[in-house]
Structure 1
Amino acid sequence: MAKQQRQPVVRMPLRVRYHECDQQGIVFNAHYLAYVDMASFEFCKVLFGSHTNLIEQGIDMVVAESNLRYLRPCRFEDELAVALTVDHVGNTSMVLGIRIERGDELVVEGSNRYVWVGTADHRPTVPPERVRTALLSARGDS
Protein backbone atom coordinates (compact mmCIF):
# COMPACT_ATOMS: atom_id res chain seq x y z
CA MET A 1 0.00 0.00 0.00
CA ALA A 2 1.49 3.36 -1.05
CA LYS A 3 2.09 5.97 1.62
CA GLN A 4 -0.15 9.02 1.30
CA GLN A 5 1.80 12.09 0.14
CA ARG A 6 1.00 15.05 2.41
CA GLN A 7 1.39 18.72 1.58
CA PRO A 8 4.68 20.06 2.98
CA VAL A 9 4.51 22.70 5.68
CA VAL A 10 7.87 24.01 4.48
CA ARG A 11 9.95 23.53 1.38
CA MET A 12 13.35 25.06 2.12
CA PRO A 13 15.76 25.51 -0.79
CA LEU A 14 19.51 25.17 -0.32
CA ARG A 15 22.65 24.74 -2.37
CA VAL A 16 25.22 22.12 -1.39
CA ARG A 17 28.42 23.75 -0.16
CA TYR A 18 31.88 22.38 -0.95
CA HIS A 19 32.75 21.56 2.68
CA GLU A 20 29.64 19.35 2.99
CA CYS A 21 31.09 16.84 0.52
CA ASP A 22 33.32 13.93 1.47
CA GLN A 23 36.40 12.51 -0.24
CA GLN A 24 34.12 10.77 -2.74
CA GLY A 25 32.71 14.14 -3.82
CA ILE A 26 29.23 13.48 -2.46
CA VAL A 27 27.37 15.03 0.47
CA PHE A 28 28.46 13.34 3.70
CA ASN A 29 25.44 11.56 5.20
CA ALA A 30 25.30 13.53 8.48
CA HIS A 31 24.82 16.80 6.60
CA TYR A 32 21.35 15.72 5.52
CA LEU A 33 20.27 15.79 9.17
CA ALA A 34 21.72 19.30 9.44
CA TYR A 35 19.61 20.27 6.41
CA VAL A 36 16.53 18.86 8.15
CA ASP A 37 17.42 20.74 11.34
CA MET A 38 17.60 24.01 9.39
CA ALA A 39 14.23 23.26 7.79
CA SER A 40 12.72 22.47 11.21
CA PHE A 41 13.35 26.07 12.29
CA GLU A 42 11.52 27.23 9.16
CA PHE A 43 8.75 24.79 10.10
CA CYS A 44 8.49 26.45 13.54
CA LYS A 45 8.39 29.87 11.92
CA VAL A 46 5.50 28.87 9.65
CA LEU A 47 3.39 27.15 12.31
CA PHE A 48 4.31 28.98 15.52
CA GLY A 49 5.81 32.32 14.46
CA SER A 50 9.29 31.21 15.53
CA HIS A 51 11.10 28.64 17.63
CA THR A 52 11.57 31.38 20.22
CA ASN A 53 7.78 31.58 20.62
CA LEU A 54 7.77 27.95 21.73
CA ILE A 55 10.58 28.56 24.22
CA GLU A 56 8.69 31.54 25.63
CA GLN A 57 5.71 29.20 26.21
CA GLY A 58 7.96 26.92 28.27
CA ILE A 59 8.21 24.11 25.70
CA ASP A 60 10.76 22.88 23.22
CA MET A 61 11.05 19.97 20.82
CA VAL A 62 13.94 17.52 20.81
CA VAL A 63 14.77 14.82 18.29
CA ALA A 64 14.11 11.35 19.71
CA GLU A 65 14.57 9.34 16.51
CA SER A 66 15.79 9.90 12.96
CA ASN A 67 15.38 7.65 9.96
CA LEU A 68 16.75 8.54 6.52
CA ARG A 69 16.95 6.57 3.28
CA TYR A 70 19.61 7.81 0.88
CA LEU A 71 18.32 7.25 -2.65
CA ARG A 72 20.67 9.30 -4.85
CA PRO A 73 24.01 11.00 -4.19
CA CYS A 74 24.17 14.80 -4.08
CA ARG A 75 27.23 16.86 -4.99
CA PHE A 76 28.74 20.31 -4.64
CA GLU A 77 26.43 23.07 -5.92
CA ASP A 78 23.41 20.79 -6.33
CA GLU A 79 20.24 22.78 -5.66
CA LEU A 80 18.08 20.89 -3.19
CA ALA A 81 14.76 21.46 -1.45
CA VAL A 82 14.00 20.07 2.01
CA ALA A 83 10.27 19.44 2.46
CA LEU A 84 8.76 18.67 5.87
CA THR A 85 5.28 17.29 6.48
CA VAL A 86 3.40 16.53 9.69
CA ASP A 87 2.95 12.75 9.58
CA HIS A 88 1.83 12.06 13.16
CA VAL A 89 0.69 14.06 16.17
CA GLY A 90 0.81 12.30 19.54
CA ASN A 91 0.26 13.56 23.07
CA THR A 92 3.90 14.43 23.76
CA SER A 93 5.47 13.78 20.37
CA MET A 94 5.16 14.36 16.65
CA VAL A 95 6.66 12.84 13.52
CA LEU A 96 7.79 14.99 10.63
CA GLY A 97 8.11 13.40 7.22
CA ILE A 98 11.25 14.34 5.31
CA ARG A 99 11.73 14.59 1.55
CA ILE A 100 14.86 16.07 0.04
CA GLU A 101 14.60 16.65 -3.67
CA ARG A 102 16.87 17.80 -6.47
CA GLY A 103 14.45 19.22 -8.99
CA ASP A 104 11.85 16.50 -9.54
CA GLU A 105 14.17 13.76 -8.24
CA LEU A 106 13.75 12.40 -4.70
CA VAL A 107 17.24 11.97 -3.22
CA VAL A 108 16.51 11.38 0.50
CA GLU A 109 13.36 10.42 2.38
CA GLY A 110 12.64 9.63 5.98
CA SER A 111 11.28 10.97 9.23
CA ASN A 112 12.19 12.58 12.55
CA ARG A 113 10.27 11.91 15.75
CA TYR A 114 10.30 14.87 18.13
CA VAL A 115 9.31 14.86 21.77
CA TRP A 116 7.88 17.97 23.41
CA VAL A 117 9.78 18.83 26.60
CA GLY A 118 9.44 21.48 29.26
CA THR A 119 12.23 24.05 29.09
CA ALA A 120 12.74 23.97 32.88
CA ASP A 121 13.30 20.22 33.27
CA HIS A 122 13.60 18.78 29.72
CA ARG A 123 11.02 16.12 30.65
CA PRO A 124 8.32 15.09 28.16
CA THR A 125 5.27 17.33 28.33
CA VAL A 126 1.99 17.94 26.54
CA PRO A 127 2.24 21.08 24.38
CA PRO A 128 -0.36 23.86 24.64
CA GLU A 129 -3.60 23.18 22.75
CA ARG A 130 -2.84 25.91 20.17
CA VAL A 131 0.39 24.06 19.24
CA ARG A 132 -1.46 20.78 18.84
CA THR A 133 -4.20 22.49 16.81
CA ALA A 134 -1.62 24.02 14.46
CA LEU A 135 0.02 20.62 13.95
CA LEU A 136 -3.28 18.84 13.29
CA SER A 137 -4.28 21.57 10.84
CA ALA A 138 -0.92 21.26 9.01
CA ARG A 139 -1.41 17.50 8.89
CA GLY A 140 -4.84 18.02 7.32
CA ASP A 141 -6.91 16.92 10.33
CA SER A 142 -8.55 20.29 11.08
Structure 2
Amino acid sequence: MRAQIELEPFAHRCRVYYEDTDAGGVVYYVNYLKFMERARTERLRALGFAQSAMAQENLLFVVHSSEARYHAPARLDDELRVTAQVLELNRASLSFVQQVWREKDATLLCEGQFLVACVRADTFKPRAIPPALRAAFAEAGDPGTHSNAGD
Protein backbone atom coordinates (compact mmCIF):
# COMPACT_ATOMS: atom_id res chain seq x y z
CA MET A 1 0.00 0.00 0.00
CA ARG A 2 1.29 3.46 -0.93
CA ALA A 3 1.31 6.16 1.73
CA GLN A 4 -0.75 9.22 0.90
CA ILE A 5 0.94 12.58 1.35
CA GLU A 6 -1.42 15.44 2.15
CA LEU A 7 -0.87 18.04 -0.56
CA GLU A 8 -2.66 21.30 -1.09
CA PRO A 9 -5.18 20.85 -3.91
CA PHE A 10 -4.59 22.71 -7.16
CA ALA A 11 -5.98 26.26 -6.92
CA HIS A 12 -6.91 28.81 -9.57
CA ARG A 13 -7.32 32.43 -8.53
CA CYS A 14 -9.86 34.77 -10.09
CA ARG A 15 -11.72 37.96 -9.28
CA VAL A 16 -15.47 38.61 -9.27
CA TYR A 17 -16.41 41.03 -12.05
CA TYR A 18 -19.58 43.02 -12.53
CA GLU A 19 -20.75 40.54 -15.18
CA ASP A 20 -20.63 37.75 -12.54
CA THR A 21 -23.10 39.47 -10.21
CA ASP A 22 -26.78 40.25 -9.96
CA ALA A 23 -28.21 43.74 -9.40
CA GLY A 24 -27.25 43.54 -5.72
CA GLY A 25 -23.58 42.89 -6.45
CA VAL A 26 -23.79 39.23 -5.33
CA VAL A 27 -22.41 36.45 -7.53
CA TYR A 28 -25.22 34.74 -9.42
CA TYR A 29 -25.31 31.08 -8.33
CA VAL A 30 -24.56 29.53 -11.72
CA ASN A 31 -21.34 31.52 -12.03
CA TYR A 32 -19.74 29.38 -9.32
CA LEU A 33 -19.99 26.52 -11.84
CA LYS A 34 -18.12 28.67 -14.37
CA PHE A 35 -15.39 29.43 -11.82
CA MET A 36 -15.04 25.69 -11.13
CA GLU A 37 -14.95 24.86 -14.85
CA ARG A 38 -12.08 27.32 -15.28
CA ALA A 39 -10.20 25.73 -12.38
CA ARG A 40 -10.56 22.25 -13.94
CA THR A 41 -9.33 23.62 -17.27
CA GLU A 42 -6.35 25.29 -15.58
CA ARG A 43 -5.67 22.06 -13.67
CA LEU A 44 -5.27 20.23 -16.98
CA ARG A 45 -3.15 23.06 -18.39
CA ALA A 46 -0.86 22.95 -15.32
CA LEU A 47 -0.29 19.25 -16.03
CA GLY A 48 0.66 20.12 -19.61
CA PHE A 49 -2.65 19.28 -21.31
CA ALA A 50 -4.38 22.20 -23.03
CA GLN A 51 -7.94 21.41 -24.00
CA SER A 52 -7.45 22.91 -27.48
CA ALA A 53 -4.59 20.47 -28.17
CA MET A 54 -6.56 17.53 -26.76
CA ALA A 55 -9.50 18.35 -29.07
CA GLN A 56 -7.13 18.08 -32.04
CA GLU A 57 -6.29 14.60 -30.77
CA ASN A 58 -10.01 13.71 -30.81
CA LEU A 59 -10.37 14.00 -27.03
CA LEU A 60 -12.76 16.13 -25.01
CA PHE A 61 -13.84 16.25 -21.38
CA VAL A 62 -17.55 16.87 -20.80
CA VAL A 63 -19.43 17.29 -17.54
CA HIS A 64 -21.67 14.29 -16.94
CA SER A 65 -23.11 15.44 -13.62
CA SER A 66 -22.58 18.10 -10.99
CA GLU A 67 -23.57 18.86 -7.43
CA ALA A 68 -23.03 22.17 -5.66
CA ARG A 69 -23.61 23.45 -2.14
CA TYR A 70 -23.63 27.18 -1.45
CA HIS A 71 -22.45 28.48 1.93
CA ALA A 72 -21.89 32.23 1.65
CA PRO A 73 -22.12 34.86 -1.09
CA ALA A 74 -19.22 36.24 -3.09
CA ARG A 75 -19.47 39.88 -4.03
CA LEU A 76 -18.19 42.26 -6.66
CA ASP A 77 -14.36 42.57 -6.61
CA ASP A 78 -13.81 39.62 -4.24
CA GLU A 79 -10.68 37.63 -5.02
CA LEU A 80 -11.47 33.92 -5.12
CA ARG A 81 -9.40 30.76 -4.80
CA VAL A 82 -11.00 27.85 -6.65
CA THR A 83 -9.62 24.38 -5.99
CA ALA A 84 -9.79 21.34 -8.28
CA GLN A 85 -8.78 17.95 -6.91
CA VAL A 86 -9.34 14.53 -8.45
CA LEU A 87 -11.38 12.39 -6.11
CA GLU A 88 -11.52 9.34 -8.37
CA LEU A 89 -9.90 8.43 -11.67
CA ASN A 90 -11.63 5.74 -13.70
CA ARG A 91 -11.00 4.36 -17.18
CA ALA A 92 -13.02 7.04 -19.00
CA SER A 93 -14.02 9.52 -16.29
CA LEU A 94 -12.72 11.76 -13.52
CA SER A 95 -14.53 12.76 -10.37
CA PHE A 96 -13.47 16.18 -9.08
CA VAL A 97 -14.13 17.75 -5.70
CA GLN A 98 -13.95 21.55 -5.80
CA GLN A 99 -14.23 24.49 -3.46
CA VAL A 100 -14.52 28.24 -3.93
CA TRP A 101 -12.96 30.36 -1.16
CA ARG A 102 -12.91 34.11 -0.62
CA GLU A 103 -9.24 35.00 -0.17
CA LYS A 104 -9.46 38.00 2.18
CA ASP A 105 -11.17 36.12 5.01
CA ALA A 106 -10.66 32.45 4.02
CA THR A 107 -14.42 31.86 3.83
CA LEU A 108 -15.71 28.76 2.04
CA LEU A 109 -18.35 30.06 -0.36
CA CYS A 110 -19.28 27.04 -2.44
CA GLU A 111 -18.25 23.42 -2.86
CA GLY A 112 -19.14 20.80 -5.38
CA GLN A 113 -18.47 17.48 -7.03
CA PHE A 114 -18.29 16.90 -10.75
CA LEU A 115 -18.18 13.73 -12.81
CA VAL A 116 -16.31 14.53 -16.02
CA ALA A 117 -16.34 12.05 -18.89
CA CYS A 118 -13.59 11.58 -21.45
CA VAL A 119 -15.13 11.34 -24.93
CA ARG A 120 -14.14 11.26 -28.57
CA ALA A 121 -14.48 14.75 -30.07
CA ASP A 122 -15.98 13.43 -33.32
CA THR A 123 -18.66 11.13 -31.87
CA PHE A 124 -18.98 12.09 -28.18
CA LYS A 125 -18.64 8.39 -27.34
CA PRO A 126 -16.64 7.48 -24.22
CA ARG A 127 -12.94 6.82 -24.63
CA ALA A 128 -10.15 5.90 -22.25
CA ILE A 129 -8.23 8.65 -20.54
CA PRO A 130 -4.78 8.69 -22.20
CA PRO A 131 -2.03 7.00 -20.15
CA ALA A 132 0.09 10.19 -20.17
CA LEU A 133 -2.71 12.20 -18.55
CA ARG A 134 -3.44 9.42 -16.07
CA ALA A 135 0.26 9.36 -15.13
CA ALA A 136 0.37 13.17 -14.80
CA PHE A 137 -2.50 13.14 -12.30
CA ALA A 138 -0.86 10.34 -10.31
CA GLU A 139 2.52 12.12 -10.32
CA ALA A 140 0.85 15.33 -9.12
CA GLY A 141 -0.42 13.44 -6.07
CA ASP A 142 -4.19 13.66 -6.53
CA PRO A 143 -5.58 11.25 -3.92
CA GLY A 144 -8.06 9.51 -6.24
CA THR A 145 -5.51 8.57 -8.87
CA HIS A 146 -4.06 5.48 -7.24
CA SER A 147 -6.86 3.14 -6.21
CA ASN A 148 -8.90 3.07 -9.44
CA ALA A 149 -6.23 3.77 -12.05
CA GLY A 150 -6.67 0.38 -13.68
CA ASP A 151 -10.48 0.26 -13.83
Q: CA deviation at 1:6?
A: 5.6
Structural RMSD (CA): 1.8
Q: Does 1:87 align with 2:100?
A: no
Identify unmatched segments of 5+ residues in structure 1. none
- Give the aligned partner of residue 136 of structure 1: 138
- Give the aligned partner of residue 120 of structure 1: 122
Amino acid at match of 2:44: C
Structure 1 counterpart SS, 2:14: strand
Q: CA deviation at 1:45?
A: 0.6
Q: Is the 8 A contact 1:6 1:85 kept in 2?
A: no
Which stretch shifts more, 78-87 or 125-134? 125-134
Q: Is the 8 A contact 1:48 1:54 kept in 2?
A: no
- Give the aligned partner of residue 8 of structure 1: 9
Moved over 6 A (4+): none
Q: 1:43 to 1:86 in 2, by over 3 A?
A: same
**How many residues in Structure 1 have an aligned counterpart in Structure 2?**
137
Amino acid at match of 1:110: G
Cα deviation 1:71-108 (Å, max 9, x = unaligned): 11111111111111111101111011111111221111
TM-score by length of 1: 0.87
Which stretch shifts more, 69-78 or 127-136? 127-136
Whole-angstrom CA distance in 1 between matches of 2:8 and 2:37: 19
Q: Does 1:58 align with 2:58?
A: yes
Q: CA deviation at 1:135?
A: 2.3
TM-score by length of 2: 0.82
